[in-house]
Amino acid sequence: MNNFVVAIDGPAGSGKSSVSKEVAKRLGFTHIDTGAMYRAVTLYALRLGIDLDDENAYSFINDLSIIYKEGKTFLNGEDVSKEIRSQEVTNHASQPARINAVRDRMVYFQRESLKIGKVIMDGRDIGTVVAPNADLKVFLTASAEVRAERRCKENELKGIESNYDVILKEIIERDRKDSTRKIAPLKQANDAILVDTTNLSIEEVINKIIDLINERLGK
Ligand code: DC
């Protein structure tokens, strides 16, 4: 097997990235976190100080280099992996994600990386737009409350202070923005397998996805 693409989509906090990263590690796949790419554009736009909702302000997009490699995100060669996780970038990330030119450029980068071989890519539109022919599509969900709890715990571990009610509100707002935008909204592909992680541990989700991959591989 030279080429095998797994598309993992789902809302913020559904565990897509951590699950995809671990599945990739265990099976020897390359993991690509496409949210990190949208975050890198957001960081660049915030640094420039442009109006994030003005689609004419993104003329820089075709000269921008964004590379996601081995868990790190590079923006024009600079490692921005930490900065893209800041609260400011998180709060603004859904704005550039609504711009046509931004999505076209990201989809181009993402399709290029699918050529690597065995890839597990996570995002919002992987099964619907980026890789409609993926070998396996999974749509991960969890209740907004559980996702907010997980985000609080993650922050606690990182020593970041957080407020459950504020985080819950932000998650609900981001879900609304991501699923109601005109282009490539967050949506389950018709042929994606729905996995509700509300009552599952991360280990259970990882094992479920590994089972699904092995099933498709005929193992
Ligand atoms: O998954 P995340 O929180 O890192 O994503 C950051 C933002 O990028 C989020 O607002 C949704 C957007 N995004 C997207 O529109 N399409 C993707 N394939 C991945 C992320």
Nearest CA to ligand 1 atom 13: 35
Distance 35 CA to ligand 1 centre (A): 4
Measured N-to-C along each axis, helices 164-180 and 144-157 cross at an angle, to the nearest 10 degrees, of 120
Using alpha carbons, list the distances in angstroms from residue 72 to 3, 33, 77, 190.
23, 9, 11, 31
Q: Which residues pair with 66 in a beta bridge?
A: 75
User: Tell me, what's the pLDDT at 1?
Assistant: 60
User: Tell me, what's the pLDDT at 155?
Assistant: 83
Return per-residue pLDDT of the chain as tens, 219 residues. 679 999 999 998 898 999 999 999 999 999 999 999 999 999 999 999 999 999 999 999 999 999 998 899 999 999 999 999 998 998 899 899 999 999 999 999 999 999 988 999 999 999 999 999 999 999 999 999 999 999 899 888 888 888 999 999 999 998 898 888 888 888 899 999 999 999 999 999 999 999 999 999 987
Amino acid at the residue 22: E
- H or E element: which one contains 91? helix 87-92
Q: Which residues pair with 140 in a beta bridge?
A: 195
Distance 159 CA to ligand 1 centre (A): 24
* Domain assignment present for 67: yes
Query: Alpha-carbon distance 155 to 5, whole Å?
Result: 31
Choice from 20, 21, 34, 38 to test ligand 1 binding pocket (greatest atom count within 8 A of CB) = 38
Query: Alpha-carbon distance 179 to 168, whole Å?
Result: 17
Q: Which range marks the domain in which residue 74 is found? A: 4-213
Query: Alpha-carbon distance 180 to 212, whole Å?
Result: 29
For ligand 1, whether the C-beta of 42 sits within 6 Å is no
* Domain assignment present for 218: no
Choice from 19, 34, 87, 119 to test ligand 1 binding pocket (greatest atom count within 8 A of CB) = 34
When computed from its CA atoms, the radius of gyration of the chain, rounded to whole angstroms, is 17
Please give the tally of structural domains in the chain.
Answer: 1
* Domain assignment present for 219: no
For ligand 1, whether the C-beta of 41 sits within 6 Å is no
Query: Alpha-carbon distance 25 to 33, whole Å?
Result: 14
Q: What's the CATH code of the domain at 110? A: 3.40.50.300
